[in-house]
Structure 1
């Protein structure tokens, strides 16, 4: 009876209640956190192995770990951590990044599973709370008092712990485990030491080709170019970039065109500590640009632990020239998404075709230019359907020349979508995403088809997915999110999304007008529409109805026409 009374004081054999009472008996053990194969004692700021061997860690790193351990499972921002550890001292982010790297090294946390980076949000400690890392033994109980009652009590505690441990283990086996099987890689923009008109464009060609090929292998999680290229010309610590992008490896390099030769240097860095994993230099004829890319990719794959087996692509100088013109046109349109910017894309695409008619780059650019003109400006071809027909012809030509290029399938999908061929568009987007899962642009564009068929929530999720793999995504992602939220009839959130753009380009003003009309903001709606009509003076209600009667669901089209009338769009 005495033993039963003692057990009643401790509580039932349920694991949670038993652990709570034991913690009350041994209050210091409640400060113990298990971190994989290690144990951290918050009260003494002591990190040691399960066997008790102390792990050496700098005092500031121990303080950072203590702050994280106080709120395991919570996301703590960089500002929160820096204010807690350095409240009265001015330090840069580098101090925190170094401490996080120290902690990960001490815990053998190579995959960042214990100390997790949440890009643009902060850090999270994924820990197992351990209320006692030195289990109670019969010998402990005997030494503590020697009475029969304490002996039985200690035995009961062991039984309870064993039951709790068993069921805890079973729960662990059945619980979903977050997987980080694929190495996470970001390819930074290559420095360009070339001179003259070629400067800048070949560098992006090399880096973009590597991004595409690595993503195509499906053995890597590759950060989209929009985010990794954000660090162009910035003097940023490798570890900071790794933390902000949430990656394990960074590939950086440079290139220099000297006469007819191209010299490319690349190096693979461990983003956790900035150390060099591999480096090499390639010095070959300019026409071998794509061969150089493939060699870098293969070596990188081997160093990270995967091997890509694919025949080396053929390359020549004309193809490189075509790529250069295409990239120049794309760059101009990104700077100015307007009728004038679209015309520059068309002109550079024609130059690309003239430079190499057997390369797909120029036809790809022409397909996009006619698609943009059909939807927004009607400057190259006033008839919407004729403009889409021209766009499709160029896209099909590009596909014949480069059937494995994700961007070609992406533009063809967009043209199918505008023509109301939604099943074909979805199928083509699936192909494009399979060819390059890292292309965030294609992911966002594919969300448009989902909106056209009424799968609004799926479309919003896909845009969020694209933002996830592209933390520093371009402004037009917010534009598409604004459209998706307008479709959901959540126009307040849609306006918030649009206002996240650094500036509203010409083509986006029509969407902004529709959102303001949805909210009843007549003056703002008319102002935005007027800005759009400066670049597209022939737009009208009649054109909208004809243009989208095959693509928009009837209810959405009626809403759109109503909002456009409210904003002041002419009937014809």
Structure 2
């Protein structure tokens, strides 16, 4: 087997099927403890990444106290040291808090396969594919629910990386005219049974990184932002490409990762990076197309000219750049027509500034400033359709991410902006999604779904559009129909925590508890509040852990979790006291705790400036406080509390008490759900014969 020289003195780990380890000489290295084997296997799956000791302990010894689990982990490390001692190697890099493996000391069959595909060593790649066949990653390892959930995520990530590597290799072989190699690899890939048709229908995944901007003039200049936006829009229109949404790219772009690490995090095969330079009398735009797994540049382009020339020739320049990118990747550059933007340089600059702040969303005054800039742009060009859509989105983010007492009024302004965008340009799918949000505030879920489906028809590659269609289906109880859209939104936007909240709720509704736990943990990893995870832990009977998980989220107060509108932030003592009551009321499983917190929520509903705030609505749903849930949502559904509706459809106590309440169908009729069901079908949990008395 033609393995790279860098592996000559490395041990070899077999990750597919039953885990095994062999030395540089090929001799099997026995490891007596199953937990020690599992520990080594976990580290070999992602040798570039360290794992927290406490996290490993919880995965391998879930039923033990922390001190006991840590002691067991230390014992496993000693077992591994003894097993590796005859090889005269030190493979592990333990620290007080982290565990890692030295990547140059061990190679895995997964790494060998990825490297062979990257180097187009087709014979070797086909041989490895034949060897691993359809064997699952780390087969026959099972240490409980938490380990299974962790392993499910690792398997999905590995399969995604294989899909990318094979797709990229096939494109390269086709571009090079190697039809024999192309046929051989295609046959081997299909024969091993790992091809996943769900990965965006075989599309090549690509992400556009934020461009560097260098300015020798000074003053407002946002061309780099404009170039990135134009590229994302144009590439999204190429049928053979799947472009990762900017929210996910922004969350990892400044993390200090290498290009291969960024590609892995975003699950892409290609990345575009570049820079924009402004000189006193000219500009320069430089683009580079990079191979994700290796970081190697495979194409570049440079534009030199004036800013005015770039603005006037934007469609022509954009078409040439996209044609060059697509040719380098090996796909046809058939794309939709360029968007109708604006001829006003000043309006475009203000639009870009407003869009940049809208993406940031959270921060004191950020969204207010975004709205101000976008409104200034529209004063200069009232027919700027994209800017009307951007202004609508800024209003949505203001409603959801900042405390507001005029949410319904702002929702109406958002809907008016979206309607104007559609009037100017009928292709504005995202604007339809936002009009759908406002339909919920009007008690018209049917109209909301109509807009969401139209938005998806117009912009199926827009992650926000896909996510909103999935969420609307969750709200009306169509979880099975929603799940594919939620998963697709995650494919489009893989590191955006909001999407994992929907995935968590969907799997919980469908009783896929391990997957729900994994999605809930992923939310926390991405910085989202983890109350959903706590609710699932409580439903599964792990009440003590659930209380701890819920209570821990108080640390996000005043940052990710903001105080309700009209209320000042709590001091630490008051915050901790409230969260103690809340965590026990929702997660302890004790009826007395639940009753106390239900009474508190009743009081807050009467006393708070926004009686329908999400901080009341979500706990009421999770505790099955049916009377308050129905009173609250009858009074007002708005963009900040509607996400609670997706949790109504979990068939576990006490949550289902709302759905099973004698007045629930009457309530559903009052808020427009029945009308939506009559057109789109009754909820998964309802028999078709259900009717209003």
Range of TM-score over shorter length:
0.5 to 0.7
Quote the residue 1:107 is aligned against.
121
* Residues 322 and 353 in structure 1, CA contact (< 8 A), matched pair in contact too: no
Matched, 1:360 2:375: no
Q: Considering only CA atoms, is the larger Rg found in Structure 1 or Structure 2?
A: 1
- How far 1:297 sits from its partner (Å)? 1.9
RMSD, aligned CA: 5.2
Distance in 2 of aligned mates of 1:515 and 1:450: 29
Quote the residue 2:334 is aligned against.
308
In structure 1, the residue corresponding to 2:334 is in which secondary structure? coil
Quote the residue 1:87 is aligned against.
91
Matches within 5 A, 1:5-404: 47=1, 55=2, 57-58=4-5, 60=7, 67-68=14-15, 71=18, 79-80=44-45, 82=47, 87=91, 102-104=115-117, 105=119, 107-108=121-122, 114=129, 123=158, 177-179=195-197, 181-194=202-215, 196=218, 198=220, 201-259=222-280, 261-287=282-308, 288-289=310-311, 290-291=314-315, 292-305=317-330, 306-311=332-337, 315-316=342-343, 317-335=345-363, 341-371=366-396, 379=404, 381=406, 384=408, 386-404=409-427
* Residues 78 and 123 in structure 1, CA contact (< 8 A), matched pair in contact too: no
Matches within 5 A, 1:343-492: 343-371=368-396, 379=404, 381=406, 384=408, 386-473=409-496, 475-481=497-503
* Residues 61 and 99 in structure 1, CA contact (< 8 A), matched pair in contact too: no
- How far 1:411 sits from its partner (Å)? 1.8
* Residues 516 and 525 in structure 1, CA contact (< 8 A), matched pair in contact too: no
Distance in 1 of aligned mates of 2:357 and 2:484: 31
Cα gap change, 1:508 to 1:517, in 2 (>3 Å): farther
In structure 2, the residue corresponding to 1:545 is in which secondary structure? helix
Cα gap change, 1:126 to 1:279, in 2 (>3 Å): closer
Cα gap change, 1:393 to 1:444, in 2 (>3 Å): same
In structure 2, the residue corresponding to 1:357 is in which secondary structure? coil
- How far 1:516 sits from its partner (Å)? 7.4
Distance in 1 of aligned mates of 2:564 and 2:505: 12
Deviations 1:283-337 (A, max 9, x none): 344353543444322221222221225555565313422422321440452346x
- How far 1:449 sits from its partner (Å)? 1.1
* Residues 377 and 535 in structure 1, CA contact (< 8 A), matched pair in contact too: no
In structure 1, the residue corresponding to 2:384 is in which secondary structure? coil
Distance in 1 of aligned mates of 2:377 and 2:307: 17
Distance in 2 of aligned mates of 1:326 and 1:175: 47
Cα gap change, 1:79 to 1:369, in 2 (>3 Å): same
- How far 1:396 sits from its partner (Å)? 0.8
Q: Bigger CA drift: 213-222 or 428-437?
A: 428-437
So what's the TM-score if we normalise by structure 2?
A: 0.53
Cα gap change, 1:62 to 1:407, in 2 (>3 Å): farther
In structure 2, the residue corresponding to 1:441 is in which secondary structure? helix
- How far 1:489 sits from its partner (Å)? 9.6
Q: Which runs of 5+ in 2 are unaligned?
A: 21-37, 48-79, 94-99, 138-151, 164-186, 530-555, 566-578, 614-627, 650-655, 662-693
So what's the TM-score if we normalise by structure 1?
A: 0.62
Q: Bigger CA drift: 493-502 or 395-404?
A: 493-502
In structure 2, the residue corresponding to 1:193 is in which secondary structure? strand
Distance in 2 of aligned mates of 1:476 and 1:546: 26
Distance in 2 of aligned mates of 1:532 and 1:113: 62
Cα gap change, 1:308 to 1:545, in 2 (>3 Å): same
In structure 2, the residue corresponding to 1:334 is in which secondary structure? coil
Cα gap change, 1:526 to 1:353, in 2 (>3 Å): farther
Quote the residue 2:537 is aligned against.
none
* Residues 120 and 244 in structure 1, CA contact (< 8 A), matched pair in contact too: no
- How far 1:422 sits from its partner (Å)? 3.0
Distance in 1 of aligned mates of 2:223 and 2:233: 15
- How far 1:266 sits from its partner (Å)? 0.5
Count the aligned residue pairs. Answer: 457
Distance in 2 of aligned mates of 1:560 and 1:223: 37
* Residues 184 and 249 in structure 1, CA contact (< 8 A), matched pair in contact too: yes
